[in-house]
Structure 1
Amino acid sequence: MSAIIDAAARIPNLASQETFVAGVPHDAFDAVRAMPGLYWQPAERGTLNGGFWAVTRAKDIVAIEKDPETFTSTLGPWYPLTGKNPENILWNDPPKHGELRRAVAKAFGPRVVANFDDWVRPIVVETLQAYVEKGGGDFVPDVAAMIPSRVMARVIGVPRQDELRVVKWTFDVFAAMQVPDDGKTFWAVNNPIRDYMWELRAAKLREPADDMATALAQANERGELTEAEYRSFTSVLLLAGFETTHTVMAQAMRMIVEDADVARMADEAVADGKTDALVDEFLRYITPAMNMGRVATRDLEFGNTKIRKGDLMQLYFIAANRDPELFGEPHRFNPSRPERNHMAFGGGCHTCLGGPLAKLELRILFEEMHKRRIRLRLAGEPRRGRQTQINQLLSLPLALI
């Protein structure tokens, strides 16, 4: 019993953004995972019962994701909870979640996304060329954020002349997530995206195209999506497709420039045609969306712990991706590892739709950097985000070697 108390005493406040500024507290997650039950983190705001349960074992997360009837997303998909938002797919359980997801699921399937290479690669090449021509700079806004925001704008169907405007809005939204307020800053910058997407709907109905905005506009026209659902879905697609890819690109590049062994392994993997395995290992090791939340709909016992109705379960994918039951030497970066069943894209019905597209963008980036023999070094201090959910890097100043 004393060992458990000692372990708990070493765990920082997982509800505080400050805990994640220096880095991910993997030692704390290891300590939580070793406990016989779940760990209760008190929280002053953003929960129904004064805190949340930290769920760090992969098997527990899988079980929760498979049971949306017992563990719901309808009160919010992350901490702090924001209450109901039925127009947003992330706030929905089956069957409504499935109805919304089917509107775009086919467009993000692996076979479809494989055909995106022809137009994604030019975006990557153009971005890298501009970066190299100016001798480097802050890799986060210039490359890691620019590529996925332009790709998602294209997937949705934003006209070329509006792409950079949408890119700026995307940057603004993620900057707003650094502000610890009641969400007013976030919505102040997110609402222009939703308004723009509604204007785009009219244009797509007049001139249909092979893109997401057209598909969703037509679904709205048929009565399958409300106006609010259309506005929400298009903005969610833009932001979610941006967040995962931009975070992994930035954090992967930081690992490469700070660790010669990682740089060597990455170079060898691409040279050997094993870029897909390299991408999967970066996704596992970094885990861009560190967690998601579910709320218990009834009293029950789970994970050797008594759970109350209304308790928030924080599913720490970033801890599950270091679970020794799934991965040998989990804290070691190893693109050659045989296990690739990571949880970087979540699980269950809420598995990230854009996973195949994120992998494609990452693969192309590493291939093109290798092809052009682009070598970079640190030219300043990297700066992490103030986030409990996103493993975010805000700045990575680099220079060409």
Structure 2
Amino acid sequence: MSQTLDHADVVEIPDLSDPASFGTAVPHDAFAELVRRPGLHWVPTTVATANGGFWAVTRYDEIVEIEKDPATFTSMKGMAYPLTNITGDHPYLDEIMFTDPPRHNYLRRAAAKGFAPRIVAKFEPWIREIVTEVIDGIADRAQFDFVEEFARTIPAYVIATVLGSPREDRKYIVDTVTAYFDALMVTEDLEEGEGGAQSVLPHLEELMRYAEKMQKVKLAEPGDDMFTELARVRERGEINQSEYLQWMHVMIAAGFETTHTAIGQSMRMYLEDPEIAALTDRAIDEGHTERLVEEYLRLITPPMQMARTATRDVVISGQQIRENDVVVMYYVAANRDPAVYSDPDRFDPWRAEVDSLTFGTGPHRCIGAHLAMLELQILWQELRARGIKLELDGEPRRGYSNFINQLTELPVRRVMS
């Protein structure tokens, strides 16, 4: 039931800037070694960095320290690698994830109330309807790709409903967001220091065009949805037009991708490990689905990292960091930090340590965390209630990314009673 390799006496640390280092699996053995080593690990690269590389931050307490100090570690030059070393007038500079307080605070307030726990709890009936619809769609299917039928479909349907997008736009959302995240990893032919922020520009502009179209639709025909709410906030002058477009872009992209990854990877773990499957079934039967989902999310960590840039010379864990150095915070390592979690690689929905860095911490903690959690809880509950039994029908296929712990294919077949 361990999700890592056994540690050798000497562990080679791969190039963490290279998506190929994550091609077959997350290098958990290497991250565990970095957690054990003192100080920080330097990753030399000219991609998306000003000083020729970045510092890999792998321990839980170090990440919390960095995220609570935006004055020293800013998001304004990039929020994840390789979306770093951003300068000039890039449109990202008006996106909430690329801002610091106090500007970050008023941008967050523009939409935060729509994702409060008490509001998201009211989404439960219609999310359950979506999950039931998706399950019904595979009723006569003996074989299918779980990622295509479940992991892509459910988050797309949910985020489209929250935003107020038409039903027929769901496929557009999936295709556009998938192309956006694929483009993040395109770093060939970039100037020294440039990164994914340049590669994604065409896809970012496409998402913003869609947001502008929906803004006009919702001002003419308002609904009880986020496109309408944010369009009204824009009309009142509480945010400017660029901030509105960027807000909607991040809701579409982040609202889909994190849950898409969590759904696919959690089912992969379930199908590959009988002990995880048994613990999952038991947790659902005992009414502990929330704790179950928290444990899946801790071990999966869909966004494997986020990044900040030092605004001054500073020391972290005894390591001298220079002004403009990029620090990449590996949540995927910190979520298995033995200083925080007992037996950290073990899947245990009843573990005492329930907090994780899956959704970040500090000012930038994910605004959609409760929505993602609810989607996953309902899906696992309904699969169990409907007696849906699956088994692997081929090799899972990972995405090509050093940012998102993607699963792009999970071939399965139904086990008929």
The answer, yes or no, to whether TM exceeds 0.5 is: yes
Q: Does 1:374 align with 2:374?
A: no
1:374–1:69 distance in 2 versus 1, CA, 3 Å: same
Q: Does 1:241 align with 2:255?
A: yes
- Structure 1 Cα separation of the partners of residues 201 and 60 of structure 2: 33
Q: Does 1:52 align with 2:54?
A: yes
- Aligned partners of 2:11 and 2:30 also within 8 Å: no
Helix, strand or coil at the partner of 1:210: coil
Letter of the 2:74 counterpart: T
- What is the deviation of 1:273? 0.5
Query: Which of 62, 76, 79 lines up with 2:78 in the alignment?
Result: 76
Query: Which of 128, 135, 156 lines up with 2:135 in the alignment?
Result: 128
- Structure 1 Cα separation of the partners of residues 164 and 153 of structure 2: 16
Q: Does 1:398 align with 2:412?
A: yes
Partner of 2:5: none
- The 5 A counterparts of 1:1-400 are 10-80=12-82, 81-84=84-87, 85-177=92-184, 179-181=186-188, 182=190, 183=196, 186-400=200-414
- Structure 2 Cα separation of the partners of residues 329 and 138 of structure 1: 33
1:8–1:14 distance in 2 versus 1, CA, 3 Å: farther
- Structure 1 Cα separation of the partners of residues 368 and 139 of structure 2: 28
- Aligned partners of 2:391 and 2:414 also within 8 Å: yes
Q: How far does the alpha carbon of each residue in 1:321-354 deviate from its partner, in whole angstroms, 9 at most, with x for none?
A: 0001111000111111111111100111110000
Helix, strand or coil at the partner of 1:330: coil
- What is the deviation of 1:203? 1.5
- Structure 2 Cα separation of the partners of residues 46 and 178 of structure 1: 11
Q: How far does the alpha carbon of each residue in 1:90-117 deviate from its partner, in whole angstroms, 9 at most, with x for none?
A: 1100011111110110111111100101
1:36–1:185 distance in 2 versus 1, CA, 3 Å: closer
Letter of the 2:80 counterpart: W
- Aligned partners of 1:131 and 1:143 also within 8 Å: no
Helix, strand or coil at the partner of 2:42: strand
Percent of aligned positions that are identical: 45
Letter of the 1:332 counterpart: R
Name the Cα RMSD after superposition: 1.7
TM-score normalised by L of structure 1:
0.95
Unaligned runs of 5+ residues in structure 1 are: 1-5
- Aligned partners of 2:50 and 2:85 also within 8 Å: no
Q: How far does the alpha carbon of each residue in 1:276-321 deviate from its partner, in whole angstroms, 9 at most, with x for none?
A: 1100000001000110000000011111111100111110111110
Helix, strand or coil at the partner of 1:115: helix
Helix, strand or coil at the partner of 1:132: coil
TM-score normalised by L of structure 2:
0.91
Helix, strand or coil at the partner of 1:77: strand
1:301–1:82 distance in 2 versus 1, CA, 3 Å: closer
- Aligned partners of 2:301 and 2:331 also within 8 Å: yes
Unaligned runs of 5+ residues in structure 2 are: 1-7, 191-195
- Structure 1 Cα separation of the partners of residues 397 and 128 of structure 2: 28
